[in-house]
Amino acid sequence: MTINFSILKKTFVINLALLLFLNLLVKPFWIFGIDRTVQNVVGANEYGFYFVLFNFSLVLNIILDLGITNYNNKNIAQHTQLLSKYVSNIVSLKFLLAIIYIIITVIAAIFIGYKDRQLYLLYFLGFNQILMSFILYLRSNISGLHLFKTDSFISVLDRILMIIIVGILLWGNVTDKPFKIEWFVYSQTAAYLFTVLITFLIVLSKTGFLKFKFNLKFFIVFLKQSYPYAILILLMAFYNRIDSIMLERLLSDNDAFAINNGAFQAGIYAQAFRILDAFSMFAFLFAGLLLPMFARMIKEKESIVQLVQLSSMLLIVPAITIVGSTVFYRYQIMELMYHNHADLSANIFGILISGFIGISTTYIFGTLLTANGSLKQLNIMASFGMILNVVLNLVLVPELLAQGSAIASFATQTLTALAQVIIAVKVFKFNINYRLIFSLIFYGLSIWGLGFITTNFISDWVLGFFTMLFVGAILAFGFKLISIKALINIIKYDKK
């Protein structure tokens, strides 16, 4: 792979390595150590109860943002001199949006039938979404200024705090009472509060003294520019997170111990979803780095071809390896992680994790199109994705339960990712690299064949699983999908 050093910045690879290193230290322990333990302790029904409410609060999260974070990230990357003016006005705007969000969330929850304990927990989950929204907005200023190292440390701060707090509650013998799912939510609240404070102080150090302003004219002008981003995020949130909500609402909840109970099926779905969510977090890190870089390169009219290809191979190739390995060893992985219902969640996991290739593709090409401002095309795509997901859930869930939601998710992620690639090719007039496409297909088939070999000839599943990962990595370099020489050259390259 030929590298044009005036385009490919070593910033991307170096800071991506730091970001991945910090997140690999922290987030796997949070997901597989803390979050998984909480689900095993409280049970599928109780965790399903929390999981549905969490996703409900997340779907409506768009009211808190209205596209502000993505638009701000892109704009600050291109016009850093606007930082102080934007922060002064946008923080005030976000407080106003927080009030609106809480009101709409509560009304919507009551409308669909949430009561008592559901509403109580939703208040805290909603407050957590407000805090998280502020963190993401403040971080968008940090990454927009290309302070990627600082942003990398902030990206794991909340999880470190949650690990400490929840870990003490789980294993610290500080209480004789059984662990409650409410404690899990309270711990998140405390961690987010501290992270908001630290992140705000960092932004304040870059802006100097701030005087917060309630400027209605600025709000209207800014929201007119950011609303296409808001529509896109809303639509994508629907087809990414509505599965568990529809699953819980569509199924009977008369018998709490029945196999078709909504909360129970949502809990089973959550077991399978957790690993996909973990990998998606790491894919999201690419988008966080790429958005301001794409935005600045597009503004300066630099070719983004090499960066698109590099980032795609660094994310999509590992995604293919991960999907193949986890699908073949899905039963063993679920049995290792969960005390109960692993047999039910294994097939659901196999379907869900297959969508990770589509998710990874979206984080590259969707980010590129967002940086370019191609919101009309993205919103049309996302609208079809939302409709497809809802229709598939309505059709499949009554018969297939959680497996129906998994199929709906996989189909939506795959088709919307393909649509984004096609849109990007047309918008940027990319030349189609058929050789690379065929290499990826052949690589995927090789991983699939490797799965059959390891499962049939290696009796120890752990050895077989890691053999797939190791040989898959060797094949990626062998097929020249990832070039060590290119990565070394980028790291050595000194920007002018």
191 DSSP assignment = H
Q: What is the pLDDT of residue 70?
A: 64
- List pLDDT tens digits, range 79-110: 555 566 666 677 778 888 889 888 988 898 88
Q: What is the pLDDT of residue 465?
A: 92
Give the Cα-Cα-Cα angle 38, 246, 137 (nearest 5 degrees). 65
**pTM for the complete prediction?**
0.70
Separation of alpha carbons 231 and 496, rounded Å: 38
User: How many Cβ atoms from other residues are within 10 Å of residue 54's Cβ?
Assistant: 22
Phi and psi at 145, nearest 5°, equal -80, 0
Q: What is the pLDDT of residue 280?
A: 82
Q: What is the pLDDT of residue 145?
A: 67
Q: Which ranges of 329-355 does DSSP label H, i.e. alpha helix?
A: 330-337, 342-354
Give the Cα-Cα-Cα angle 137, 163, 286 (nearest 5 degrees). 45
Separation of alpha carbons 27 and 168, rounded Å: 17
Beta-carbon contacts of 192 under 8 Å, excluding residues fewer than 6 positions away, are: 128, 131, 132, 135, 158
Q: What is the pLDDT of residue 7?
A: 44
What residue ranges of the chain have pLDDT lower than 50? Answer: 1-8, 257, 490, 493-496
Beta-carbon contacts of 334 under 8 Å, excluding residues fewer than 6 positions away, are: 271, 272, 342, 343, 345, 346, 349
Taking each helix axis from N to C terminus, what angle separates 116-144 and 262-299, rounded to the nearest 10 degrees?
Answer: 20
Separation of alpha carbons 451 and 401, rounded Å: 28
Q: What is the pLDDT of residue 125?
A: 92
Q: What is the pLDDT of residue 483?
A: 66
Q: What is the pLDDT of residue 8?
A: 46
Q: What is the pLDDT of residue 6?
A: 44
Where are the chain's structural domains? Answer: 10-492
Beta-carbon contacts of 168 under 8 Å, excluding residues fewer than 6 positions away, are: 174
Whether residue 69 contacts residue 367, with contact meaning beta carbons closer than 8 Å, is answered with no
Separation of alpha carbons 355 and 96, rounded Å: 36
Separation of alpha carbons 398 and 437, rounded Å: 38
